[in-house]
A and B are shown apart, each in its own frame.
Chain A
Amino acid sequence: MAAFPWHARSRNYVSESDVYKLESVPLDFGDYHPLKPITVTESKTKKMSRKGSTSSTSSSSSSSMMDPLSSVLDGTDPLSLFAAAADPLTATASMDGIRKKRDKDDNSAVGSDFEQWSSKRSEILSRYTTTEKLSINLYMGSEKGKTTTSGSAVSEKVRTRLEELDDLEEGSQKELLNLTQQDYMNRIEELNQSLKDAWSSDQKVKALKIVIQCSKLLSDTTVIQFYPSKFVLITDILDTFGKLVYERILSMCMDNRVSLSDNFSPETVNDTAKETCLNWFFKIASIRELIPRFYVEAAILKCNKFLSKTGILECLPRLTSVIRGIGDPLVAVYARAYLCRVGMEVAPQLKESLNKNFFDFLLTFKQIHGDTVQNQLVVQCVEIPLYLTLYSPAIDWILQCIAYRAPENLTNFSELFLQVLLTEMMERCKKLGNNALLLNSVMSAFRAEFIAARSMDFIGMIKECDESGFPKHLLFRSLGLNLALADPPENDHLQILNEAWKVITKLKNPQDYINCAEVWVEYTCRHFTKREVNTVLADVIKHMTPDRAFEDAYPQLQSIIQKVITYINDFSLLFSVEKFLPFLDMFQKESVRVEVCKCIMESFIKHQQESTKDPVILNALLHICKTMHDSVNALTLEDEKRLLAALINGFIKMVSFGRDFEQQLSFYVEARSMFCNLEPVLVQLIHSVNQLAMETRKVMRGNHSRKTAAFVRACVAFCFITIPSLSSIFTRLNLYLHSGQVALANQCLSQADAFFKAAVSLVPEVPKMISVDGKMRPSDAFLLEFLCNFFSTLLVVPDHPEQGVLFLVRGLLNVIQDYTWEDNSDDKVRIYTNVLHLLSAMTQETYIYHVDKVDSNDTLYGGDSKFLAEISKLCETVIAQILDHLKTLGKEETLKRQSQLALCFFNTILAHGDLRNNKLNQLSVNLWNLAQKHGFADTKTMVKTLEYIKRRSKQPDMSHFTDLALRLPLQSRT
C-alpha cells in the first residue's frame, strides 16, 4: 500500500477564534427565572366571606412552573373545596362547628406531647423481673352466697371456712404455684384471652369474675420485686375490660343505626343503655374486697359519661380517697398510678384529683418505715433501696400526669406544690431519709425549666437527704440532666456548680462519680469559661486515674468529650484548656481513642471557618490525626480508611501559614511522614504542594527569583518523590501529568521532563482491568482519557536540547505501539487519530496555546523544515497504522466498526488535513466510501457531514470543498 503523506492544514487560531467564538448576549433577568420564589397572591374568585383563614386560597403567579405545594393550595385542598362548594352561611356554620369540636378535643384529649403509658409499659416489664417462683390464686367461686348467707353473728373465721367449702364444692378454685415469671405472664395472657372469649360468648358475669380475680392478684405482694410488672400485666386486662364494657354500652346507644358522636351528652343516651350501665356500677359497688372494687370501677370510669355529665368529676375524687384504705403503700401507690392513668385518658383537664393523689401519697409515705412494711421486707430479703426503686414507675407516672401542661398555671400551682413539697420534705428530712426517692421522681417528671428555676432549692434538699436510702449521686445526676436542658437563673450559675461539684467530687465510687460528672460537664460548658471547664476536667482526671478506673468508664468519658466540643467550637480556646489533652490520654483503648479523635476532627472541620497556623491547634490536631492514622492496620476496613483520610485531609486543608511558604512546605513534609499509610492524604498533600508552587508563582507574577525558584523546585521534588509511593496507577499517572504541568508553569523544564518521562514509562504498566468502587472495570476508557489529556500537554512541552526531536511524543508512541491492547478494541486507532490532531497542531506556525515564559517548539524551531519533515514522517507512520487496522476489520462481524473508524478518520482529515493535496483528497473520498460500503453508516450523520462540507466550502480559501462534496456520494439506505 502506498504511503499517504500527511499535509496538515495551516491554521490561524486567532482569526478562527474570532469567527467561531460564541457571541455573548446580555442576559435578561426578566419575569421568568426558575429559582425565583413563587409569589402567592390571593385570588379574588373565591368567596371571601368565610371567617378564619383555614382555607387560604391562593394561586401562583408569574411562574410557568408547577409548584406542587402551590398547586395544593390552589383551591384543590379538601377544606377550601368544601367551603367553596357550600354557600357562605352554611360554610361558616360548619366551619365553626368543626372548630368548636376541635377546641373541645383539645380540652378533653391528651396531646401527642404526653408520653403515653404504652411507652412506659415495656420499660417496666424489662426492668422489674424476678427469678423467684410466683403463684396465681384464683377463686372462681361465685360471689352470690354472700348476699344471702344467714347469720350476721357468725364469726369471720367460720364464714370464710364456709366460703372455702362452697368454693371447693364448686371445684373452681385454682391455685397455681411455682410459676416462673414467663409462665406467670403466659397465664395472665390466657386470662386476658378467656376474658375476651367469655365476653364474646355473652358470659358477662364470668368476664366480671375474671376481672375481679385478676385485680385481686394486685393485693398480693409476695415476690415484691415483680410487683411493678405484675401491675402492668394486670392493668392490661383491666383496660381490655373497660374497653369492652364501654363499647358494649356505646353500641346499645345506637339509635336508628346512627352511633353517638364522641362527645355525646348523657341526655342522648337511651334508657336501656343507662340501665345496663347502672347495673354494672351497682354490681361493682357490691364487690366485697376493696382492691378489686377499686380497680374494676376505675377500669369502667369512662362509662360514667353515659349517666351524667359530672359523673367522672365526682367519681375521680371519691376513688382517690378510696385508695386511702389500701394499707400497703406500694399497692396503694400503684393504685394511684392506675387512677391517674385512667383519669388522664378520660378527663385530663381534671388536675385536682391528680394532685390529691400525690398529696395523699405524701401523707402515707411514712408507712414505708412502719413495722408492717419492714417485716415484709425482712421476710422477702429485699433491701430498702431496692424496695424504694419499685416505687419509681408509679411516682414518675403520677408526677408526669400532674406536670403535663402544668406551666399554664405554673405560678399558682407549682408554687403551691413546691411549698407543700418543701415543707413535707423538710419535715421528713429530719426524721427519715427516704424522700430522696421522691425528690428524684420530682426531678425526672417535671419540666426542666421548672426544675432549673429552683435549682438552689433542690440542691438544698438533696444535701439534706439521708445517704442511707436512695443514693445521692443519682439525685445530682437527675438535677444535672434538667440543668442540661434548661437554664437556671443567671445569678445562681456559679453557686449551683460549686454546690453540686462539692458533692460530686466527694463520691468515692468512680462509676457513681463519672455518671454524675458526665451530666454536669454539659452544664459547666454551657455557662462557664474555659477555666471552670478545665477545673472540672482536671477533677475528672484526678478521680478516674487511680486504679485505671477510666477503663470502665469509656462511654461516659467519651460523652464528656463530646459535650465539651459541642460547646467549645473555638479550637484555639479548646486546646488552651490545659487538661483537655491529658484528658484525651485517658482513652487508652485504641478503638475508643480513635472514636474520640474522629469526633474532635469532625467538629473541627464543621466549625473551623478560617485556616489557621496556631501552633497549639496544629500540634494538638497533628497529634490527634496521628493517633487516627496509626490505628490503620491491615484489618482496617476501606470505609474506615476513607473516613479517616477525609478527616485528615479536612485538617490539612485548614492549615495555612499565609505568606510563609517555606513553613507551609515543611508542614506538608512533616504531614507526609506522619500519614504515609493513607493514600488519599498523600494525594491531598501533593495537590497542596502543587497549589503552593502555583501560589508562589502568583506572588512572583511568574518571575521567580533565585530563592523562589529554589523553593519551587523543592516543591516539585516533593511531588516527584511522593508520587511513586502511591499504589493506584491512574492516580499516579494523573499526578505525574498534573505535577509536570505545574513544573512547566514554574519554568522547571528538566523537572517537567522528568515527570512526563515517568508518566510515559508508567503507561505500559496500566493493567487491562482496574477496580473501581470495588468492581472490576476495563481500564481502556481511563487510559484513553488520560492520553488525550497528556497529548494536549505535550504540545507545549519544548524539546530537550540533548534528546532528539519530539523525544517525548516518540517515546509515548512507542509505548502505545507496544502496549497490549484488547484484541477487539479500536482504542489504539482512536489514540492514533488523536496523535494526528497533536501532530497537526505542532506543524502550525504559532501554537494554539502556550505556557507563560516557556518557549514551546514553535518558537524553538521557528517552523524549521527539518522539524516539519520529522513530523510528517511520524504522521505517515501513524496513518499507515490506521489504514492497516482498517484493513483487518474487513471481516463480516467487524464491518460496523470499520465503518465507524473510517468515518472517524475521515473527520480527522476533514478537520486537520489539507485537502488541496490530491492524495489526501483521494484518501478521504475512499474513506467516505468505505464508511458507506456495507450499509453500516448512519445516514443522518452522513447527511450532516455532507452539509457541513458544503457550508465550509462557502468560506474563503475553502473552494476545494465544493469539489470534494461533489465526489462524495450519499448512499441511501435502501
Chain B
Amino acid sequence: MGTALDIKIKRANKVYRCGEILSGVVVITSKDTVQHQGISLTMEGSVNLQLSAKSVGVFEAFYNSVKPIQIINSTIEMVKPGKLPSGKTEIPFEFPLHVKGNKVLYETYHGVFVNIQYTLRCDMRRSLLAKDLTKTCEFIVHSLKGKLTPSPVDFTITPETLQNVKERASLPKFLIRGHLSSTNCVITQPLTGELVVESAEAAVKSIELQLVRVETCGCAEGYARDATEIQNIQIADGDVCRGLPIPIYMVFPRLFTCPTLETTNFKVEFEVNIVVLLHDDHLITENFPLKLCRM
C-alpha cells in the first residue's frame, strides 16, 4: 500500500569524517506510479542542550541561550516535480561534509544534557490529496585525529587516602594498589590497567568501573555542570584472591562517548570511578578524570 521512502547510506557503519563525501541512495518503492511535487534531501547537524531539572530554577536567565546550535545544514533538490515509475527507484546522492566559517563538525554524541546528532532527511512533497512523505536517517560523524600523550597513573587506596569519611575508625583496614595504563585514552581502545587487592580485612563484595560523563552547559557567567553514569562494569565479583592482579578493562561504548569536547557553550568530559564495595557495605570510590580522543 502506498509509497515507501528509504535512505541507504553507502557505509555499513554510517561513519564519516569532516571532508569526506557522504554518499548513498534514496530508495522509493511503490506499486503504482508516484506523482510528486519534488524530492529534496536535507543534511542537518546540531547540538541540543538541555538543562537538568535541578538547574532550571537557578539558571532561568539562561533559558534563551539553550537553543540548538546548528553545525551544518544543507538541502538539495533531488528530483523536480513529476512522476516516478512504479516499482523500485533508486536515486543516488552525494554530500560533501564541509562546514562554513569557523564551525567545527563535532563528533556524534548522545548524552543526557548534550546531544550532538547528524541526520539526513528526505522529503517528498506531494499534492494536497496525499500526505508528504518524510524519512530521516542518522549518520555518524567522527572527528579528526587529535593528539595523545600517554599518561599512566599509579594509585593506592587505603583508609588514609580517603576523603569524605564520617567515621574513619569504623573503617576496615585495606590496601588496594593499581595503575591505569593511561588516563588519556583513544576512544576506540579500551581503558586498561591493573588492580591488586593487597590486603583487606573485610571481604570484598564487588569491584566496579563506573564510567561517568560530565556535561557542562553555559558560558563563563554561569553554567550547569552535571555528572551522570554511562555504564558500570564489574571487574571483580566476590572476595578476590589477595595479591593477584585483576585486569581493569573497559570498552568505551559507542555513541555515548566522544572525544573530550570543550566549546564556548558546552563541555563534554569523562571520568572513571573505581568502586570497591566491601561486604560490610562500605563503598570506596576513587575518581580519575579521563581525556578521550580519536586517533
Contacts and interface: CB of A to CB of B under 8 A. Distances in A.
B238 A286 contact: no
A778 interface: no
Interface stretch (B19-27, B41-49, B146-154, B229-237): B229-237
B233 to A, nearest CB: 7
A274 B11 CA distance: 12
B241 A157 contact: no
Contact of A151 (B12, B228, B231, B256): B228
A325 B227 contact: no
Interface stretch (A364-372, A602-610, A646-654): A364-372
B289 interface: no
Contacts of B230: 147
Q: Classify the interface of chain A: helix, strand, loop or mixed.
A: helix
A326 interface: yes
Interface stretch (B88-96, B115-123, B204-212, B259-267): B204-212
Nearest to A364: B241
Interface stretch (B60-68, B79-87, B129-137, B244-252): B244-252
Contacts of A293: 233-234
Contact of B240 (A274, A282, A327): A327
Interface string A209-230: 0000000000100000000000
Interface in A517-542: none
A288 B232 contact: yes
B255 to A, nearest CB: 10
Contact of A324 (B212, B241, B273): B241
B237 A150 contact: no
Interface residues of B, number: 41
Nearest to A275: B12
B277 interface: yes
Interface string B180-221: 000000000000000000000001100100101000000000
A123 to B, nearest CB: 28
Given A152-B210, A372-B203, A282 B254 contact: yes
A371 B238 CA distance: 12
Nearest to A289: B234
A464 interface: no
A914 interface: no
B283 A290 contact: no
B231 A147 contact: yes
B292 interface: no
A327 B281 contact: no
Contacts of A360: 244
Contacts of A156: 275, 277, 283
Given A150-B228, A152-B212, A271-B13, A286 B283 contact: no
Nearest to B204: A327
A404 to B, nearest CB: 27
Contacts of A270: 12
Contacts of A327: 204, 236-241
B53 to A, nearest CB: 9
A148 B112 contact: yes
Interface string B97-111: 000000000000000
A372 B237 contact: no
Among B241, B246, B247, B275, which residue has the most Cβ atoms of chain A within 10 A?
B241
B236 A325 contact: yes
B233 A371 contact: no
A150 B240 contact: no
A146 B228 contact: no
Nearest to A360: B244
Given A290-B237, A318-B249, A370-B239, A152 B11 contact: no
A968 interface: no
Given A327-B204, A372-B203, A146 B237 contact: no
Contacts of B226: 150
A329 B241 CA distance: 9
A372 B249 contact: no
Nearest to B251: A285
A328 B206 CA distance: 12
Contact of B12 (A155, A271, A318): A271
Nearest to A288: B232
Contact of B245 (A150, A275, A278, A324): A324
Contacts of B11: 271
A363 interface: yes
Contacts of B273: 152
A367 B241 contact: yes
A149 interface: yes
B231 A288 contact: yes
A286 B231 contact: yes
A363 B241 contact: yes
B240 to A, nearest CB: 5
A115 B238 CA distance: 33
A322 interface: yes
B222 interface: no
B229 A272 contact: no
Contacts of A155: 283
A293 B247 CA distance: 14
Given A157-B281, A285-B251, A363-B244, A152 B239 contact: no
A325 B283 contact: no
A152 B228 contact: yes
A922 interface: no
Contact of B232 (A146, A321, A329, A364): A146
A418 to B, nearest CB: 23
B239 A325 contact: no
A762 to B, nearest CB: 90
Contact of B251 (A151, A274, A282): A282
Nearest to A273: B12
A213 to B, nearest CB: 16
Contacts of B251: 281-282, 285-286
B229 A149 contact: yes
Interface in A146-184: 146-153, 155-157
Which of A286, A326, A364, A366 has the largest count of B CB atoms less than 10 A from its CB? A286
A331 interface: yes
A291 interface: yes
A270 B12 CA distance: 9
A325 B229 contact: no
A272 B251 CA distance: 21
A326 B244 contact: no
A245 to B, nearest CB: 18
Given A147-B256, A286-B251, A326 B12 contact: no
A263 B239 CA distance: 42
A322 B275 CA distance: 17
Contacts of A272: 12
A34 B139 CA distance: 82
Interface of B: 11-13, 52, 112, 203-204, 207, 210, 212, 226-241, 244-247, 249-251, 253-254, 256, 273, 275, 277, 281, 283
Interface of A: 146-153, 155-157, 219, 270-272, 274-275, 278, 281-282, 285-286, 288-291, 293, 318, 321-322, 324-329, 331, 360, 363-364, 366-367, 370-372
Task: Give 6 closest A-B pairs by Cβ, nearest first.
Answer: A327-B238, A271-B12, A325-B236, A285-B251, A290-B234, A372-B239
23 contacts: A149-B228, A150-B228, A271-B11, A275-B13, A282-B251, A282-B253, A285-B233, A285-B253, A289-B234, A290-B235, A290-B236, A293-B233, A318-B249, A321-B245, A324-B241, A325-B234, A325-B237, A326-B240, A327-B204, A327-B236, A364-B241, A367-B239, A371-B203
Given A321-B246, A364-B244, 12 more contacts: A152-B273, A219-B238, A270-B12, A281-B251, A285-B250, A288-B231, A318-B247, A325-B236, A327-B241, A360-B244, A363-B244, A371-B203
